[in-house]
Amino acid sequence: MTQQPFSRPGAIDLSGLKAPATPSSSGSAGAAAAGGSSYAVQVTEEAFQSVIETSMTAPVLLVFYSPTRMPDSQQLADDFVTLSTEFEGRFLVGLVNIDEAPGIAQAMQIPSIPLVVAVLDGRPAPLIQDVLPIDELRSALTTVMQQLTAQGMTGRHQPRSAAVDTDGDGEPDYDPRYAAAQDALGDGDIDRAVAEYQKLVTANPADVEAAAGLAMAKVLQRTQGVDLNAARAAGAANPDDVDAQTMVADLDMLGGHVEDAFIRLIELVRRSSGDDRNKAREHLLGLFGAVGNDDPRVLKGRQSLASALF
């Protein structure tokens, strides 16, 4: 789809984020919830800096659109609001209507619309530059979030309608349950992260998020210090070796190749038996848990696994 130029063509000048923003009167994000979603806000020029600062907790996706210059971009914005609810806080959508907030687009030197910019830890990078069907957006975002999780970035935004300021500093307080594990991941201490997630799962086996965090932390733990090329060469040379194949599957997960990891282990289950089959199956179930049981790729993988077992 043809993009509507907004300012000079060329790459986004990422230094634009350093431009001072007008302080928000509330000292917090200050943007109203958008479209009824608890994980989307309409970003004003006054609140822009505050919204960017929330990317220190979890990703912020800035959706630049214009109902007047490019009506189709409004649909993209609406779809991101829908997806923000589905992903339950894995990212916050910041809607930037350039007709109402031209200063933000100018500060970031937006080359055209539509444009989606991902911001993590205050650092922005272009993500999507076209109007895509919602199914394609969902698939792309699932892959991006999986890659971030593999890198230990597991934070979530709290629902805007449910976040409560309990210490009077104007900022919503966040669920502290996962803080210790996330701090460990941030410090690069994978063993400590595994231990912290294990504590949460032991205390509450129904905590799906903790279970997923534990599963992914274990992937990181198993692949620490592994030579990627050597591991893949071993996997290619030993197609029926469970240890070699599960290692490559773990590496596929870290690289964002989730379906490749699933297929590799499903086929291993199909052609193996006895203890080897059980070991491959258990490893695959662990990877399913890391991705999330509601993920379409996991649902498809479970169906294929059932077929491989019978």
Q: pLDDT at residue 283 above 90?
A: yes
pLDDT, residue 98, reads: 93
Over residues 162-190, the pLDDT tens digits come to: 333 334 444 444 457 778 887 887 778 88
C-alpha distances in Å from residue 181, one per residue of 177, 186, 196, 302: 9, 9, 5, 28
Q: pLDDT at residue 2 above 70?
A: no
Most confident among 9-18, 94-103, 255-264, 288-297 (mean pLDDT): 94-103
- Give ∠ CA 308-247-91 in degrees, rounded to 5: 90
Which one has a higher pLDDT value, 18 or 3? 3
pLDDT, residue 148, reads: 82
Q: Which residues, 6 or more positions from 88, have their beta carbon under 8 angstroms from its beta carbon? A: 39, 156
For residue 93, what are the β-bridge partners? 40, 61
pLDDT, residue 34, reads: 59
Question: Tokens at residue 259, please?
Answer: 């379906």
Q: Length of the chain in residues, anyone?
A: 310
- Give ∠ CA 289-198-274 in degrees, rounded to 5: 55
Q: What does the pLDDT average to over 279-288? A: 93
Over residues 180-219, the pLDDT tens digits come to: 887 887 778 889 989 999 998 898 887 878 888 898 889 8
Over residues 210-269, the pLDDT tens digits come to: 888 898 889 889 988 889 899 999 999 999 999 999 999 999 888 778 899 999 999 999
Return d(Cα 86, Cα 83) in angstroms, integer. Answer: 5
Question: In 10 A of CB 229, how many CB atoms?
Answer: 7
Q: pLDDT at residue 280 above 70?
A: yes
24-33, 60-69, 121-130: the lowest-pLDDT one: 24-33
Question: Tokens at residue 52, please?
Answer: 């960017």
Over residues 42-87, the pLDDT tens digits come to: 998 888 888 888 888 889 999 999 999 999 999 999 999 999 988 8
DSSP for residue 170: S
Q: Between helices 134-150 and 208-223, what is the axis angle to 10°?
A: 60
